[in-house]
Amino acid sequence: MTTAAVTTNAGPDAARPVNLIGLPRAALEQFFAELGERPFRAVQVMKWLHHRGADDFASMTDLSRVLRARLEEMAVVAMPEVMTENVSTDGTRKWLMGLDDGQRIEVVFIPEKDRGTLCISSQVGCALDCSFCATGKQGFNRNLTTAEIVGQVRQASRRLQGVVTDRDRAITNIVLMGMGEPLLNFDAVLPAIDILLDDLGYGISKRRLTLSTAGVVPAILRLAEVTDVALAISLHAPDDTLRDQLVPINRRYPIAELLDAVRTYLGKLGDWRSVTIEYTLMDGVNDSLEQAEALANLLTDLRERSKINLIPFNPFPGSGYRRPSEARVRAFQTHLLERGFATMLRTTRGEDIDAACGQLAGNFEDRTRRRERYIARLKDHGVITHQTV
């Protein structure tokens, strides 16, 4: 395979051949137009890539032999590799996926009776450093490319083949809620959304594709101009003082500005659509009845246009936070219900497999660092002179 300089969908190394799974339909049509091919080639190739799961051009038998040979030279089909797969007793699956440059990301599949939700990552690590988040503790490493974002769905679909048998397809819902802040990787996330929504891609309905943000206000406004997928806001606190501590980006875009952006976004959606408010409950931090009341007051004008998701905190080593008692969680929920808010209690899934975002990659990092320290110690003591372990 040559390294022809096709720069569309540029990733960490723009000189690499273009990865076709990261091209939305319009870009793929453009790609073929530049090769002197007709636009329907894009339709053919998208079906091969996303519906039939073809991994090479040789198998795309409805393309001419000459075109297949050209594609071999200037393009690739590549997706993240599964490094580990953990399956919870409740059916939740979590994969640690490896990228070309050795980085690792997490992808989680949560099966429910009537749906299968895939939680995907948009960045390696995250710069926003929310105080209760395992991913935030790893810091930011890099943005994912469009192909790496779509590739998670492609890889997960493959791993789930034959696993869920009572629905047409295992993945019915996708949430951009894994590692990273999707709106800080806007230019890669948006084409990925395009591919996930496209019938030639994954055919996910816009109501079933949710982008979750910690509150990058200018990007929410920009998003409102270009798409109408579902939006979730990681709020986690009813006032700026607390939210400044839990979600530090609040210091830049405080709650009032954030909710204004949410209203703008809702203004672009149909009247019947709502925004999801994510609220992770942490014992003694944000789970009092006074805080439930403050949250209800804060969201009063959004009551008919919002759903509140309460998520009891899933502790991880070194997090410094505890999960509230069941009674406190129920009391918080009841208060919001009494105030007229659609309030769901998200049951914690996959606890036995570290399913909280960032935990798996964090553990992997820890193990890798432990191993490196171990090797360094051996070298210090003259046990080994070069890396033989």
Residue 134 vs 190, nearer CB to ligand SF4: 134
Is residue 367 packed enough to be buried (19+ CB in 10 Å), middle (13-18) or exposed (0-12)? exposed
Residue 157 vs 210, nearer CB to ligand SF4: 210
Please give the Cα distance from 93 to 107 (Å, whole number). 8
Nearest Cα residue to 321 out of 137, 64, 125: 137
Residue 180 CA to its chain's centroid (Å)? 7
Provide, rounded to whole angstroms, the least separation between the CB of residue 242 and ligand SF4: 15
Type of residue numbered 372: E
Helix (H, G, I), strand (E, B) or coil at 176: strand
Token pair recorded at residue 155: 């890889």
Provide, rounded to whole angstroms, the least separation between the CB of residue 122 and ligand SF4: 9
Provide, rounded to whole angstroms, the least separation between the CB of residue 247 and ligand SF4: 6
Is residue 70 packed enough to be buried (19+ CB in 10 Å), middle (13-18) or exposed (0-12)? middle
Residue 179 vs 311, nearer CB to ligand SF4: 179
Cα distances (Å, whole numbers) of residue 210 to 20, 34, 172, 198, 222: 24, 34, 12, 15, 16
User: Is 106 a residue of the active site?
Assistant: yes
Active site residue: 119, 130, 133, 357, which one? 357
Type of residue numbered 207: R
Provide, rounded to whole angstroms, the least separation between the CB of residue 177 and ligand SF4: 8
The residues with which 210 forms a beta bridge, in sequence order, are 175, 230
Residue 37 vs 181, nearer CB to ligand SF4: 181
Contacting positions for ligand SF4 (CB under 6 A): 126, 128-130, 133, 135-136, 179-181, 214, 234
Provide, rounded to whole angstroms, the least separation between the CB of residue 125 and ligand SF4: 8
Provide, rounded to whole angstroms, the least separation between the CB of residue 181 and ligand SF4: 4
User: Is 357 a residue of the active site?
Assistant: yes
Provide, rounded to whole angstroms, the least separation between the CB of residue 151 and ligand SF4: 19
CB contact at 8 A, 49 and 20: yes
Active site residue: 29, 37, 106, 148, which one? 106
Provide, rounded to whole angstroms, the least separation between the CB of residue 357 and ligand SF4: 6
Q: What is the DSSP string of 269-328?
A: S-TT--EEEEEEE-TTTT-SHHHHHHHHHHTGGGGGGEEEEEEE----TT----PPPHHH
Q: Angle at which helices 146-160 and 186-197 pack, to 10 degrees?
A: 40
Nearest Cα residue to 244 out of 254, 234, 259: 254
Phi-psi region of 9 (alpha: psi -120 to 50; beta: other; left: phi over 0): left
Q: What is the DSSP string of 73-111?
A: HHEE---PEEEEEEE-TTS-EEEEEE-TTS-EEEEEEEE
Residue 128 vs 188, nearer CB to ligand SF4: 128
At 187, which helix (H) or strand (E)?
Answer: helix 186-197
Q: What is the largest CA-CA distance in the chain?
A: 70
Active site residues: 106, 357
